[in-house]
Amino acid sequence: MVFHVKNVHTRKRKLPMMMFFILTILTLSLFLVQLSPVSAQDQTARLTGIIYDEGVDTNGDGAFDYLNLGVEVNVTTAATYVVDGGGLYDPTYNFVAVGANNSVYLDVGIHVVYLALNGSEIYALTVNPTTIASIYLYDEANNMLSELHDLELSTTYSYDEFQSPIINIEFTEIEREIILDQAGSIYVTNAYRITNIGFWINTIEIGFPEDAYDFEVRDEMGTLEVSTENEIITVNLRSIIDTNETETLYLNYHIPWENYVSQQNGVDYSLQFTFYEQFNSRIGKLSVSITLPKGAEFQSSTPQTSSLQETMTFAFSDVTPSQDLNFNINYKYLVFWGSFYPTIWVGILAIAASAIVLFLGTPKTITASTIQVPSKDLKIFIDAYEEKTRIRSELESLEERLQKGKIPRRRYKVRKKMLDGRLSTVSRNLSSLREKIRAAGSKYANMMRQIEVTEANLEGAERDLQRVESRYRRGEVSKGAYRKLLEEYNRRIEAAEATIDGVLLRLRE
Give the Cα separation of 420 and 399 in Å (integer). 13
Taking only the tens place, the pLDDT of each residue in 349-395 is 656 656 665 565 544 444 444 556 667 778 888 888 888 888 888 88
pLDDT value of residue 135: 94
- Give the 3-state secondary structure of residue 198: coil
Is the pLDDT at 279 greater than 80, yes or no? no
- Give the 3-state secondary structure of residue 313: strand
Residues with Cβ < 8 Å from 114, sequence gap 6 or more?
Answer: 68, 69, 70, 71, 102
Pairing, β 213-219 against β 222-223? antiparallel
Give the Cα separation of 133 and 60 in Å (integer). 29
Q: Highest mean pLDDT range out of 68-77, 263-272, 336-345, 477-486?
A: 68-77
Name the band, by pLDDT with cuts 50, 70 and 90, for residue 308. Answer: low
- Please determine, looking at this structure, whether the domain spanning 45-161 carries the CATH number 2.60.40.3870: yes
* Beta partners for residue 283, in sequence order: 171, 319
pLDDT value of residue 264: 83
> So where are the chain's domains?
45-161, 169-333, 375-508
Structure-model confidence comparison of residues 144 and 507, the more confident one: 144
β-sheet with 201-207: strand ranges across: 201-207, 232-241, 226-229
Could you tell me what percent of the chain has a pLDDT over 70? 82
Residues with Cβ < 8 Å from 394, sequence gap 6 or more?
Answer: 419
CB distance 115 to 136 below 8 Å: no
Name the band, by pLDDT with cuts 50, 70 and 90, for residue 115. Answer: very high
Taking only the tens place, the pLDDT of each residue in 19-65 is 555 555 555 554 443 444 334 345 899 999 999 999 999 999 999 99
Lowest mean pLDDT among 13-17, 78-82, 349-353: 13-17
pLDDT value of residue 36: 40
Topology agreement, domain 45-161 and domain 169-333: yes
- Give the 3-state secondary structure of residue 184: coil
Closest CA to 493 of 444, 453, 457, 447: 457
pLDDT value of residue 340: 47
What does R_g of the chain's alpha carbons equal in angstroms? 37
Residues with Cβ < 8 Å from 205, sequence gap 6 or more?
Answer: 232, 233, 234, 235
Alpha helices in 250-312 (DSSP H): 257-260
Is the pLDDT at 472 greater than 60, yes or no? yes
Taking only the tens place, the pLDDT of each residue in 225-245 is 888 888 889 998 888 888 888
Name the band, by pLDDT with cuts 50, 70 and 90, for residue 146. Answer: very high
Backbone angles phi, psi at 187, to 5 degrees: -115, 130
Is the pLDDT at 78 greater than 70, yes or no? yes
Is the pLDDT at 6 greater than 50, yes or no? no
Is the pLDDT at 335 greater than 60, yes or no? no
Could you tell me what percent of the chain has a pLDDT over 90? 26
How far CA 424 is from CA of 66, 387, 421, in Å, comes to 44, 12, 5
pLDDT value of residue 324: 82
What mean pLDDT comes out for the span 461-475? 76
pLDDT value of residue 39: 40
Residues with Cβ < 8 Å from 390, sequence gap 6 or more?
Answer: none
Taking only the tens place, the pLDDT of each residue in 157-170 is 999 999 988 888 88
CATH of 169-333, one of 3.90.400.10, 2.60.40.1730, 3.40.50.300, 3.20.20.10: 2.60.40.1730
pLDDT value of residue 454: 83
CB distance 64 to 119 below 8 Å: yes
CB distance 476 to 86 below 8 Å: yes
pLDDT value of residue 357: 54
Pairing, β 95-106 against β 186-196? unpaired
